[in-house]
Structure 1
């Protein structure tokens, strides 16, 4: 029987993290690298991609590479897994962390439902749902070959439950339908793929709760009051969940959605 240390060891494996230069994405890159994996950092900002790849390589003494691309670019998305395997030797773990979250300045996004834009809806689904589908499909032959193939999709509590719009009163924040619908679709894609790609590839998802990142103090106070743990999440709160699902710690786990939300959805 393997030890816990052996089960969590990712030495010799390669991970691709989309949104890898973002807040949670960087925490995930560090987690995988600390466990011994080589890491490909994929994001849309070339400077942040390269900075993250260099930092992770230096800090954890693993091989890394940066991939700068827009997840709306289908040809680039489909080509990414092959580039990673060619550069780093394999592809064993795929983490779909990138997300279209929009901004309050985006037309038809943080507005009442009646004003939400179909074009913005499509853009959100393209990044949050279509791109993971295409990327997993392109990566499947490599993941099957791995012997340890694991896909971890990053959803959201709002892919599981509806929003309480009173949280956003008197703030510039909001909760568009496209975000929740795309994340809900990603969770169901996870379940669908888990049965289709088994037994060679495991597919699971993580749904983070709200992560503290300098939001309006009124929102934070309301959110914390509705959370059993009494606080918003941090990026560090997500690291253990990712390592569990990416490694052999969860070798007999597939098709599951792990809510890391401080109890938000338990009420």
Structure 2
């Protein structure tokens, strides 16, 4: 199922799911919904109202306490950079303040002259995870969404570490849906810039699977409900300019669309 957070005329953020034709509002938090969606009676009991997709605005799919990102997790991206595959996941953080929703604008920061897109499959954590094994990891994954790991590449080179380059407001677009029923290890992932394909790969090219990432990260830090794990980007990373429209598609989830201003 495709779950989301959204708003209508009152601008109050609501939880719901998209049935392919309309958005059904559910009277509960996104975290509770992700932990109970397989219970048909629960879903039916929580139904409040329905809306056309055209009448809603997307909100970020969750409210993460942190966004954990993975570097160099696609074989084709490592080949593109002529780098060896990592022996263990390379992790870094983006702050919650960088999160925006599908259709929100990405702001080009004044202190940068080189801002890149990075298309990524993202894991949404649905319950507190600490020291989780790889076999138990699926119990803590509420579903999957899309993220653009926007990066000020010139600042990344200048700083020789990644915090400033990855942390500007609007640098973590996520959405539009959380898909609960999909194989994360075999999904076509692509990015278009102004309609031109720039990235085109499949998640089967990931070095470390989502389950492995949950195990690895949860043995370092506690993952909270709503936290995001961005699983890395494939080859084809490049620059965005002011006025560009960037769209990331993952076949079972949908399309994350944002404009650069």
TM-score, with length taken from structure 1: 0.23
* More strand, by proportion: 2
Higher relative contact order (CA 8 A, sep 6+): 2
TM-score, with length taken from structure 2: 0.24
